Amino acid sequence: MSKRRQIPDLTFPSVQFGPSETPWDLRVLLYKGGSGAAKKKVAKMIANGELGAPQLDRLDLVIKLHAEIDGDLVAGGRRPTAENRVTYLRHMFEFADDTDLPLTVETITDTFCGWADSLYHRTRLKTKKRRGKKAALSMRTAYAYGATVGGLLNRVLERSSKIMELTQLRALPQRKSPLGRQAEKQNLKDTFEFGHALVDICDALDIATVRAPVVPFEIALRTGSKILVNEGGSTKTVVRQRNALLNLRIEAELEMFIGQTGMNATQAVTSRLRHFAYVSHNDDYQVKEHKDRRGGEVLFEVFKEYRPFLERYLAWRREFFPASNTLLFPFIGNAGTRLEQRYKSFRVRAFCKKANIPHVSPLALRNTRVNWLLRETADTKTTAEMVQSMEQTVVSVYHRASLQRTAVQVIRFWSRVDPTLRTDAVAPGGCTGTPKESASIPKNAPKPDCVKGSGCLWCDDHRDVDSFDYVWSLSSFKHIKLLELSRLRPLKSDNEEKTPAGLAIARIDAMLRWFEESTEVRRGWVKESKARIAEGDCHPDWRSEISGLEGTA
């Protein structure tokens, strides 16, 4: 090489670092021993020449790796993912430095396989880390290391097959044990107990209390116990006392927010304060930015019962953090830390330990919310939309099999198919097969007898079903009654609206009107069902009967 190659900038300008953090710089990968050196010292070691000259044969490979990581970040990739990639790359380069293996575009496949073999060997060990020796690894951790770096190399080398297929590292299946009835009850009990504690903390730390902090301060729980917080007496300044109470309240509000919105902790911690607008959706609220409330992005979705708690927190927050263009949960920390690093859940965790209350982590809160929604909606697609995840993620990551839900589903199945146990309504809807005449039944209306579908309309045992399928079936049933009414030849003194078919039509119209006027989603169901009937697309349960009445069978 006649001329020394210029080393380009291998840092990550799009990533913000705190004053005490060391910015990532892949330049360390070019120096033998650089990957294994301490992060805070390696730049000085390079500047002082302690690591010698850069290994320029590595430059093309390092440039390509940097371009992949930086390009993903610029495109919106997650910071933790990029951080893992940088860390695991350093592990591989450290291994290559220790074993004198080459690190070029042409040789990296063999070097990667050698590193993967060393990771696999560590999964067979049972010893902890000792001087000069690597600690044992679980197969799950070893695979994470290899798959993270392997994914980068697949793109750098433009491979048609995955490089991990050349190794012995294998992904372990994510086995999720089903919850028994008692375990499921305990899970919900712990979650509710934890949620009550969060509310008690927020109730106690109001504006007046935080403005004039008392040391130590007692928080009274609804269970009757009182928990001391902010101990330290005269060793704490007033500012430190106030900051400790502020951070405790913010942390409690954050974990309540995670439990209500289903956000993951990283999303919640980095959420920005905005002028929120609440839009009714499925009896709850979608929260958008006020200027985009009609068609903007949904920031998160909350249960309607949570709105007063969120509004109360925002008012409290304005008193202590008046600046608007900041984080929604502005933790107070040392000047050398990034804002999003200041949440570690240790404050609420310590409080729960004192109160002998189970602490529920943000991941467990999200899991509980997702599974509760799955149980309530019985619809993975709807649940995925509500928690802002992909349907596949909800099923594969969050869903937990439940003995109680399985038993309910088995009972419902046999209730439908067992000829000796009929619990389905003759008309659209549900019932227990015990007819009971409604007090408001008109004179000429069919009596409930579990034989005539119209009788179900005036039966107290009949139950509506909150679904589009039910609304479509109800609209199809109305079409049948209209066909029947069109074939009648009433006497001159008769009124069509007073006939059984006419009364049934009026009753169905009233039922559909309730759906239409309740929520936007249900209004959409009615509109769609009417459009389908107009196109001749009736519900499958009634198609044969409609074909017979129309003479098209």
- Residue entry with tokens 């909606």: 377
Amino acid 493: pLDDT: 43
- Asked if residue 202 and residue 160 are part of one domain, the reply reads no
- Asked if residue 99 and residue 64 are part of one domain, the reply reads yes
Exposed e or buried b for every residue in 160-191, given b needs 16+ CB within 10 A? eeebbeebebeeeeeeeeebeeeebeebeebb
- Asked if residue 190 and residue 47 are part of one domain, the reply reads no
The CA distances from residue 176 to 179, 204, 396, 407, in Å, are 9, 38, 10, 18
User: Is residue 151 a part of any domain in this protein?
Assistant: yes
Q: Which domain, by its residues, includes 157?
A: 26-166
- Residue entry with tokens 């005449």: 437
Phi, psi of 287 (to 5 degrees): -105, 125
Amino acid 280: pLDDT: 78
Cα(132)–Cα(57) distance, integer angstroms: 28
Amino acid 87: pLDDT: 95
| Number of folded domains that form the chain | 3
- Asked if residue 162 and residue 255 are part of one domain, the reply reads no
- Residue entry with tokens 């202590």: 320
DSSP readout, 368-435? HHHHHHHHHH--HHHHHHHTTS-HHHIIIII---BHHHHHHHHHHHHHHH-TT---B-SSSSB--S--
User: Is residue 123 a part of any domain in this protein?
Assistant: yes
User: Is residue 392 a part of any domain in this protein?
Assistant: no
- Asked if residue 442 and residue 469 are part of one domain, the reply reads yes
Amino acid 129: pLDDT: 55
CA 207 from chain centre, in angstroms, equals 32
Amino acid 458: pLDDT: 86
- Asked if residue 87 and residue 47 are part of one domain, the reply reads yes
User: Is residue 386 a part of any domain in this protein?
Assistant: no
The CA distances from residue 237 to 212, 217, 234, 250, 304, in Å, are 12, 14, 7, 20, 40
User: Is residue 479 a part of any domain in this protein?
Assistant: yes
Parts of the chain with a pLDDT under 70: 1-4, 127-133, 174-187, 231-236, 282-283, 292-296, 324-325, 334-341, 370-425, 487-497, 552-553
CB 24 within 8 A of CB 42: no
DSSP SS3 for 213: coil
Radius of gyration of the chain (CA): 32
Domain termination residue (choose one: 166, 190, 222): 166
- Asked if residue 185 and residue 152 are part of one domain, the reply reads no
Max Cα separation, the chain?
111
Amino acid 1: pLDDT: 40
User: Is residue 390 a part of any domain in this protein?
Assistant: no
Domain termination residue (choose one: 380, 399, 431): 380
User: Is residue 78 a part of any domain in this protein?
Assistant: yes
User: Is residue 415 a part of any domain in this protein?
Assistant: no
- Asked if residue 190 and residue 155 are part of one domain, the reply reads no
Cα(502)–Cα(445) distance, integer angstroms: 9
Domain termination residue (choose one: 109, 136, 166): 166
Exposed e or buried b for every residue in 250-269, given b needs 16+ CB within 10 A? bbbbbbbbbbbbbbebeebb
- Asked if residue 232 and residue 309 are part of one domain, the reply reads yes
Phi, psi of 61 (to 5 degrees): -65, -45
- Asked if residue 466 and residue 318 are part of one domain, the reply reads no
Amino acid 2: pLDDT: 39
- Asked if residue 368 and residue 336 are part of one domain, the reply reads yes
- Asked if residue 460 and residue 316 are part of one domain, the reply reads no
